[in-house]
Amino acid sequence: MTASREPAFEVTDTRSLPHLELVDAASRSVELDEMTDRIIVLSFTPEGCGAPCDAQQRLIERVRQAVNITPMRDMVSFVNIAEPGAAGLAAGENFIQAHSLPGEPVVDLSEAFAGLSSRGGTEPVAHIIDRGGRHAGLFHGSTFRYADMMHYINGLTNMRPPEPSFRDRLSEFFR
């Protein structure tokens, strides 16, 4: 339903996510695999992205603030991946500012995740990862209505975590 109303939204449905090695500001490891009981809103702010990423981060922060006044706050995590030392929002309740490991530019990580979209393009993308680790959708750029992201996240919080398909279980077996 979100895809029919929101031109900036794209439905996805895959458990095959690019591998990320991340650390937070305190150099602690950030593992998305350890957050499979939560919905993750994942975004990237590579060096040089500038205004497009800033606009998207402001919109995502607005969504986070709205989520945090509901019971969803305990079910959703917002993870932004930026260059080490980049200015960003202060980490706090259900928000993690993560960084790539030295020698692995954020733009490379962002491009790996961009492959999950069938649209292409150069605008920043917010990835929605459902409970259970399924990549469920994308919000492109900063023109989406924050209420549409809120409704989509709300719908995911009310769904049972999806069962892995036979293909997913087989793929996991051979990893």
Beta carbons of 81 and 43 less than 8 angstroms apart: yes
Q: What is the pLDDT of residue 67?
A: 94
**Mean pLDDT of all residues belonging to the chain:** 86
Q: Which helix (H) or strand (E) holds 128?
A: strand 125-129
Q: Is a pLDDT exceeding 80 seen at residue 169? A: no
Q: Is a pLDDT exceeding 70 seen at residue 91? A: no
The reported pTM is 0.86
Give the lowest-confidence range in 12-21, 36-45, 52-61, 70-79.
12-21
**Higher pLDDT, residue 162 or 125:** 125
Cα distances from 65 to residues 70, 146, 147, in angstroms, run 9, 11, 12
Q: Which helix (H) or strand (E) holds 127?
A: strand 125-129
From the CB of residue 28, how many other CB atoms can be counted at a distance below 10 Å? 11
Strands (E), 2-124: 9-14, 22-24, 29-30, 39-45, 76-82, 95-100
Q: Output the CA torsion 125→44→21→169 (10° steps).
A: -20
Q: Is a pLDDT exceeding 70 seen at residue 145? A: yes
Q: Is a pLDDT exceeding 90 seen at residue 139? A: yes
Confidence of residue 124 (pLDDT cuts 50, 70, 90): very high
